[in-house]
Amino acid sequence: MRKRTHGLMLCLALFFVIPIPAFAANQVNTIDIQALIYGDGTIHITQVWEGDFDEGTESYIPMNAPDYLTISELIVSDKNGSYDNVQDWNIDLSFEEKAIKCGVNDTDSGYEICFGISQYGKNRYTIAYKLDKAVSSYSDRDGVNFRFINDGMNTTPTDVTVQILLADGTPITQLLGI
């Protein structure tokens, strides 16, 4: 019994003495999303991300979208100002080459909105874009088939708020999600 007690005490002591490496990982604490729906079926989306970004070169939002959805008017900014929009986003560029830049990367299943992390540590990013022809007419009502947050993101958020409004500011309060 005494050997077990000494062994347990030794294990506990080693646990506190041996350095355990801390693995840096990007953590998005909050994403606040506002979607404004216009009469022509266009949706203007603004996302505000707050979190700790400690590794990698970029963050991205995958859009596994049907062919009818197109993104335009992409603007990304942080506390230092707006990012340069790059026509052909290259995922293989370095941290420095992606800094203060954003763009759309075409993938086999759609595309990704990408932006350079630009500075490690606590950051707040604002991502705004327009989805053309996002609202569709169905036999019984109009609707949108779009995921604001999905499991393919490289930084999954802890908390998300979504506010959906008509262009005149009227909130959409009746939603049906499946």
pLDDT in tens, 72-127: 999 999 999 999 999 999 999 999 999 999 999 988 888 899 999 999 999 999 99
Highest mean pLDDT among 6-15, 144-153, 157-166: 157-166
CA 66, distance to chain mean position in Å, is 19
Domains of the chain in start order, with CATH, are 27-166 (2.60.40)
- Does residue 96 contact residue 5 with C-beta atoms inside 8 Å? no
pLDDT band at 152 (very low <50, low <70, confident <90, very high): confident
Report pLDDT for 56.
92
Task: Compute the distance between CA of residue 120 and CA of residue 102 in angstroms, rounded to an integer.
Answer: 16
Beta-bridge partners for 63: 111
Task: Compute the distance between CA of residue 126 and CA of residue 32 in angstroms, rounded to an integer.
Answer: 9
Report pLDDT for 65.
66
| Closest C-alpha among 72, 54, 69, 61 to residue 117 | 54
